[in-house]
A and B are shown apart, each in its own frame.
Chain A
Amino acid sequence: MDGEWSATLLLCGIYSLVAIATQLGIICGAFSLAPIGWMSVGAYAAALAATKWQVGGATGLAIGVLVAVVFGPLVMLPVRRISGLYFALVSLAFVLVIQSVVSHMDYTGRALGIFGVPLLTNLWHVGIALVLVCGVAAFMTGGWRGRALRAAGQDPKVAYSMGVNVANLQLVVGAISAVIGVVAGFLYAHYVGYVDPTQYGFAMVVQVITMVIIGGRGHWMGAIIGAFLITSLPLILRPLAEWRDVVNGALLIVVAVLLPAGIFGVFGLFRRRAGPVDPAEAKAGH
C-alpha cells in the first residue's frame, strides 16, 4: 500500500477509537468530550514512559489505563447534576485543563512537549485495537445492555423506573471511554514520535464531534464511518488542489443537511427493530 494511504488508514483507525469513545457517552446520555482529554493522558503516558520513566511501552500503557479506570468515572460524575450541552462544556473544561497543565509543567516539556517517543505503532497495532474496541462497543450497545444504555440516554427518569441504574451505567461508560481514549493517545504518540499540548485541544474536539455527527449519532459504527470519512477526505480530494478545502466543507454541509441522522442513519433505517423472527413462524409464512 502507498505510504501516504497507509498512514491515512492508520490515522483513520486511531480517530475511530476516540470517536467510538465519544459516541458511547452520547448513547448513554452523557455528551462527554473527555475522551480527547484521555487521549492526551495516553499520549503523555507513552512519552513519559519512554523518555523519563525508562520503562517499556506496555508499562506506560498500563499506567495510563489505570489512571483512566480510576478517574474516568469521576470525570463523568457531573452528569448526575447537569446534562446535554452543559455537561459537554464541563467535559470540554476537563480537556482544556489537561492541555493547560501539560503546557505549564517542566516535567511534560511545557509548550514544546516531549520528543523522542519511539515510533512503534503500525497498522496491525491500530487494527487490533480497533477490533477489540469494536467488540467492547458491540457488547455494550447490543442486547439488553444496549437497550438499557439507549433508554438511559433518551429518558433517564423513565429508564430508572424500568430498573436501569442510569448513574452507574454512565460511570461504567465513563471508565470504558476513558480507557479507549488513553489507548488512542498512546498509539498516536508512538506513531508521530512526540507529544505537545496543541495536539489534543479544541481543534481535535471539533474534529471528533464532526466525525460523530457526520458518521451518525447513536451507533458506534457511525463513529467509525465519520472518522474514516473526515480523516481521509483531504487525501481523496487532493487532486482538487486549492479547491480541496472548499469541496471538503461543502460535502460536510451537504451530509449534515441532507442526512441529519448521519451517514449511518441511512443504514439505520434498515435495521431490524422487531426482534428475531421465529424460524418456525417464518416457515409457516407469518
Chain B
Amino acid sequence: MLLEARGLHIAFGGVIAVDEVSFTVKAGEILGMVGANGSGKTTCLNMLTRLIAPGRGAMMLDGQDYTALAPDRLVALGISRTFQNLRLFKDLSVAENVALGVQAGMQAKGTPRRERAIWARVHELLDMGGIRVHAGVLPASLPYGTQRVVEIARALASSPRLVFLDEPFAGMSSDEARMLSKLLLDVRESSGMALVIVDHNVEVLVSVAERLIALAEGRVIAEGAAAAVLSDPAVVRSYVGTDV
C-alpha cells in the first residue's frame, strides 16, 4: 500500500472538521474524493500534506510514518500537491514556478541542482502541458484554466509518487477539463504515480478515478467503485439533503 491514512481527526475551536478518516491508496492508483462543501476534503488534504498537523491519527507512505514530518520534507518522500485556490508564486514566471518543483525533486534525490538540467526538465514539462508558449509570463496574466495546468505541472515537476490535487477541474471549461483528465491519465501511465483528486465535477472525476471515497461532516460515508459510491443513499443524502 502506498498511502495509509489511519483515524485522521482534527477539530477547530470545538468544531470537528475531520473525524476518524481512514483510507488507503495503492501505488499508481487514482482515487477520487467527493463530498459537499465543508465535508472536510481539503482539511484532509492539508493534514495529509502536513500543512496542518492532525489532532489524532497517523499517515504512512510505503509503511513509513510521516505524521510528524515537517512539510518541507514531504517532497523527499515523494508527495506533492496543488491547492483549492490557485497558489502560484505571482512574481515568478510560469517557468520559474515549475522550476521550483523540478529543483525540489532534484534536492530530494540528491541530484546537483544545476541550472541547465533544471531548465531542460522545465521545458519538457511545459511542452507536456502545452504551456511552453507561456514560459516567460507571470501566471496572473493567464486564463484560469491555464494557471491550473501550470500549478499541476509544478506539482508533477518533482517526480512524486503521490500527488494530491485539490479541485483541479474547478473553473475549467468542459474541453479544458477533458484535456486535463487525459493529461493526468497519460502522466499516471508514464510515471506510475498515484493521484488523489478532490473535485466537485463528478462526471470528469469518474472518468479518471478508479475508486471514490465520499466524505460528509468530516467522516467517510462511502468508499469503493464510482457507481456504487454515487448511488449510495448516504452520499445522495449528503449532496441533495434528502433521500431521492
Contacts and interface: CB of A to CB of B under 8 A. Distances in A.
Contacts of B115: 143-144, 276
Contact of A273 (B49, B95, B123): B95
B103 A276 contact: no
B59 interface: no
Contact of A274 (B71, B72, B75, B135): B135
A147 B99 contact: yes
A147 B100 contact: yes
A260 to B, nearest CB: 13
Nearest to B112: A144
Contacts of A158: 83, 87, 89
Interface class of chain B by DSSP: helix
Contacts of A276: 115-116, 119
Contact of B87 (A155, A164, A275): A155
B90 interface: yes
| Contact-size category for B | 35 or more
A273 B100 CA distance: 13
A107 B76 CA distance: 52
B95 A275 contact: yes
A150 B135 contact: no
Contact of A218 (B74, B91, B107): B91
Contacts of B122: 275
Contact of A163 (B72, B123, B136): B72
A160 B119 contact: no
B199 interface: no
A218 B87 CA distance: 19
Given A163-B72, A218-B91, A273-B95, 16 more contacts: A143-B115, A144-B103, A144-B113, A147-B99, A157-B51, A157-B87, A158-B89, A160-B72, A161-B51, A161-B72, A162-B101, A162-B104, A163-B107, A273-B92, A273-B138, A274-B94
Closest 4 CB pairs of A and B: A273-B93, A274-B136, A163-B104, A163-B75
21 contacts: A143-B115, A144-B99, A147-B99, A147-B100, A148-B103, A150-B91, A154-B89, A154-B91, A155-B87, A158-B87, A160-B72, A161-B72, A162-B100, A162-B104, A163-B74, A164-B104, A166-B72, A273-B135, A273-B137, A274-B94, A276-B116
